[in-house]
Amino acid sequence: MRVLVVGGGAREDALSWRIAASPSCEAVFAAPGNAGTATRGENWSVAATDGKELAKKCVDERVDLAVLGPETAIAAGVGDRLRKAGIAVFGPNRSAGRLESSKIFAKRFMQRHDIRSARASVVHSLDGALRALDRHGDAVAIKADGLASGKGVVVARDRASAQATLGAWYGSGHVPGGGNDVLIEELLEGRELSFFALSDGSQLVPLAAACDYKRAGDGDTGPNTGGMGAYSPPRGFPENFEQVVREQILEPVRRGLAEEEEPYIGVLYCGLMWTREGPSVIEFNARFGDPEAQVLLPRIEGDFARLLHATATGRLDPRAIVLSGDACVGVVLATGDYPASATPLRGVAAPRVKDGCWIFWGNSTRRDGWIDAAGGRVLTLCAMGNDVERARARAYDGVHALAAELGACDLTYRTDIAAR
Ligand code: AMP
Ligand code: GLY
């Protein structure tokens, strides 16, 4: 089968890698792709959000399956466009994708279907927001409704910081992502878990889970980022966590989608907080996580392209999901100024990678063996092992060697990914 991966980050590099290794895969393309996907097949210079051009190229190139990587493609209606052109798509249409692209849509969906999540109010103005603080207390998560590339959520632990955020958003007239709609949500206490399930339009089947490290600095300090590392399987959760998530989260989501006649096709990423009462939904995403994909995909056995195609065409067989018992750890290497800014790197020589480790490139291009990277999260280095401890030791051996080789590039990374 001929497969297109839409997107150009490290998640899409991991998708292209795992798809290319599938027996059923004849060719893999990426749009726009990056320095990693370029080693496996053609990169199309088409934006991930340009549904019209992507549909045209998919037909010309006889693509059998398109896999949507980033939320921007889903929210731009790329899934709708490609389906209309007769292409099988792994990734929801824009409408079902609102579970991610509108936090208010997602919250109301959860309220209608009794899916546990934090108590919240929807507000449209500073006055309304301040009244909501009176109702919910001063420690809240303040969430812009729309997609805001990681800048739309602020956790405020006291009234002064809540007021500062709300004042800045409404005062400047710039709520991140646009519009005036904001969700004010009570804080949940517990441990976070990224849980992924496949949906073929009628079933919602657990795939795998991972732990993501969102803060920039060791010990969960510093600003929020897109994710500085991850590992899978998660540890420190109840042994039956998958069954609990299946019963308490996935089943009501599946039922809710069916009742509302909102077919969902692709992967549903449930961002959960494991509280004293069990899992509570922080957010839904309509795609794989980055860097979670980089540590999940190496653990998925069998023909991955076929699994995605079966999901895309309503024929998912839950028995086709087989996970390796081994663990995988991924460490992100980012430019020193991330997340405040992202200095591009020019003309980096393709680095050697230690045996037993592999790397996935973030936004980048490759010419004659030299790589230009957009900066920010430059790459993710991953390694596997019999358990998390061994995978972690191997990954950090690889990181140290790589950081020495790329010494001139001023890359930073967290040293505590997957540490107990
Ligand atoms: P989100 O973009 O919705 O994933 O939010 C970013 C981060 O903010 C999450 O990963 C959590 O760490 C934190 N967060 C969001 N909502 C809550 C909440 N209700 N309680 C505690 N932490 C939250
Ligand atoms: N790692 C978090 C995300 O992909 O949204």
Could you write out the three-class secondary structure of the chain? CEEEEEECCHHHHHHHHHHHCCCCCCEEEEEECCCCHHHCCCECCCCCCCHHHHHHHHHHCCCCEEEECCHHHHHCCHHHHHHHCCCEEECCCCCCCHHHHCHHHHHHHHHHCCCCECCEEEECCHHHHHHHHHHHCCCEEEEECCCCCCCCEEEECCHHHHHHHHHHHHHHCCCCCCCCCEEEEECCCCEEEEEEEEEECCCEEEEEEEEECCEEECCCEEEECCCCEEEECCCCCCCCHHHHHHHHHHHHHHHHHHHCCCCCEEEEEEEEEEECCEEEEEEEECCCCCCHHHHHHHHEECCHHHHHHHHHCCCCCHHHCEECCCEEEEEEEEECCCCCCCCCEEEEECCCCCCCEEEEECCEEEECCEEEECCCEEEEEEEEECCHHHHHHHHHHHHHHHHHHCHHHCEECCCCCCCC
Domains in the chain (CATH in brackets) are: 2-92 (3.40.50.20), 120-186 (3.30.1490.20), 191-323 (3.30.470.20), 327-412 (3.90.600.10)
Ligand 2 centre to CA of 398 (Å) is 23
* Pocket flag, ligand 2, residue 283 (CB < 6 Å): no
- Find the residues whose C-beta lies inside 6 A of ligand 1: 118, 141, 153, 155, 185, 187-188, 192, 214, 271, 282-283
Task: Walk across the sheet containing 364-367 and list its strands.
Answer: 345-349, 370-373, 364-367
pLDDT tens for each residue of 159-213? 999 999 999 999 887 899 999 999 999 999 999 999 999 999 999 999 999 999 9
- How confident is the model over 286-305, as pLDDT tens digits? 999 999 999 999 999 999 99
pLDDT per position as a tens digit, 99-157: 999 999 999 999 999 999 999 999 999 999 999 999 998 899 999 999 998 889 999 99
Q: What is the pLDDT of residue 408?
A: 84
> What does the pLDDT look like over 243-300, one tens digit per residue?
999 999 999 999 999 999 999 999 999 999 999 999 999 999 999 999 999 999 999 9
223 alpha carbon to ligand 2 midpoint, in Å?
Answer: 15
Residue 220's pLDDT band (boundaries 50, 70, 90)? very high
pLDDT tens string 54-69: 999 999 999 999 999 9
Q: Which atom of ligand 1 is nearest to the CA of 120?
A: 19
pTM over 0.95: yes
- pLDDT attached to residue 62: 98
Return the percentage of the chain with pLDDT > 70, whole number: 100
